[in-house]
Amino acid sequence: MEGGARRPADRWDDRDHGGPRRDVPRVDRDVVGHLRDAVALVEAKATTGELDGYRRFVLALAGKVAAAHREEGQGVSPAETAAIQQIAAALGTTAP
C-alpha cells in the first residue's frame, strides 16, 4: 500500500512460531475504540432500554467466546476476564 499504510491483514504474521501473531495492544485499542463508537451511536439513535440490551448482548457474547475454549483447566482465564472487564468499561458498564 502507498505511504506505508498497513492493511488489516498485515497485523498477522504466520511466519513466526508457526501460527498467527497479532499486535495485541493495537488490536485491543482498536476494539475498545470501535466499541465506544458503537455505544455513542446507539445512545444517539436508540432508547435507554435498547442501549442496555446492546450492552448485555455484547457482554454475553464476550462471555460465551471466553468460555468456549478452556485454558489450563479454567473455563475463563484471568486474561479473558480482564478482556471482558475492558469491554464492559468501553461499553460504559460493568462486567456481570
Task: Give tens-digit pLDDT for 48-70.
Answer: 999 999 999 999 999 998 888 77
- In terms of Cα–Cα distance, which of 86, 31, 79 is closest to 59? 86
pLDDT digits (tens, 9 = 90+) for 19-35: 555 565 666 888 889 99
**Positive or negative torsion for Cα 80, 84, 86, 90:** positive
The alpha carbon of 55 is separated from its chain's Cα centroid by a whole number of angstroms, namely 13
66-83 per-position pLDDT tens digit: 888 776 677 888 888 888
The DSSP secondary-structure symbol of 74 reads: B
Task: Copy the grid coordinates of residue 65.
Answer: 467466546
Q: Residue ranges of the domains in the chain? A: 24-91
